[in-house]
Amino acid sequence: MKLLKGKTAIITGASRGIGKGIAKVFALNGANVAFTFSKSVELAKEFEKELNSLGVKAIAYQSDAANYSDSIKLIEKINTDFDNIDILVNNAGITKDNLLMRMQEEDFNQVIKVNLNSVFNMTKAVQKIMLKQRSGSIINMSSVVGVKGNAGQSNYAASKAGIIGFSKSIALELGSRNIRCNVIAPGFIETEMTKKLDEKIIDNWRNSIPLKRGGTPVDVANACVWLASDMSSYVTGQVLNIDGGLLT
């Protein structure tokens, strides 16, 4: 049973990592996929071909979700290329970690702009279409850091906590039109980026998790599929921690 058959999903920042995992699992569940990337044209086009080979329609778009006018134009283009827009996954994000005493103003502002402003931009751009069709599922990617904070990541934590407050407000605003808005808060997810870290650091992280392992992009993607599907039709304004019990 393909839970997302006939639906179209937009996923930002999906050429690698968690976003890529979400896009692939969505396609395997029958969703048509419009995904964005910022720089890696070759990788994005390869992934586009891979998704299309799964029997769905997939198109890669080079776009900056942190830019408001880019986001408006992107949604207009996607709405022309696809028959409908049912799901939005705001996944694009960056880190610029440092202790507050060493953090530059630009590093704080840039993280807020990319991580938080992008969620506003894309949600604002897509809501008109979802309001007209009186349906939609918006999934915003936060982090356990946005729930509990983390030393050396005040900018990232602020952006991810902001996503939670924003999402709960949108759930209240749009619920009467059958548009749901929920949050995924991943914990330690092992991706291409974490492979570059020292193995001892990774083992320490794994040992601090009740399930004694890092998560995978598929773990996050499976939760997104549920929130995107009709199986969660009575769920909105919620934060789902995908963290192996880290915040338990």
Instruction: Answer yes or no: is 129 within a domain.
Output: yes
For residue 156, indicate whether it is catalytic. yes
Please report whether residue 207 resides in a domain.
yes
Q: What percent of the chain has pLDDT over 70?
A: 100
Is the pTM of the predicted complex or chain greater than 0.75? yes
**What is the average pLDDT across 227-248?**
97
Report the chain's mean pLDDT, rounded to a whole number.
96
Within a domain: 194: yes
Residues 6 or more apart in contact with residue 88 via CB below 8 angstroms: 9, 10, 122, 123, 126, 136, 137, 138, 139
| DSSP codes joined into one string, 216-243 | -HHHHHHHHHHHHSGGGTT--S-EEEES
> Is 1 a member of any domain?
no
Q: What is the mean pLDDT of residues 84-99?
A: 96
State the average pLDDT over residues 85-113: 97
Would residue 227 count as lying in a domain? yes
Task: List the CATH number of the domain containing 228.
Answer: 3.40.50.720
The count of domains in the chain is 1
Q: Considering the domain boundaries, does residue 21 fall inside one?
A: yes
Strands 136-141 and 179-186: parallel
pLDDT of residue 191: 85
247 within domain boundaries: no
Task: Please tell me the predicted confidence (pLDDT) of residue 34.
Answer: 98
The 10s digit of each residue's pLDDT in 54-80 is: 999 999 999 999 999 999 999 999 999
The parent domain of residue 75 ranges over 8-239
| Residue 34 resides in a domain | yes
pLDDT of 193 above 80: no
Q: Of 61, 68, 156, 234, which is the active-site residue?
A: 156
Is residue 225 over pLDDT 90? yes
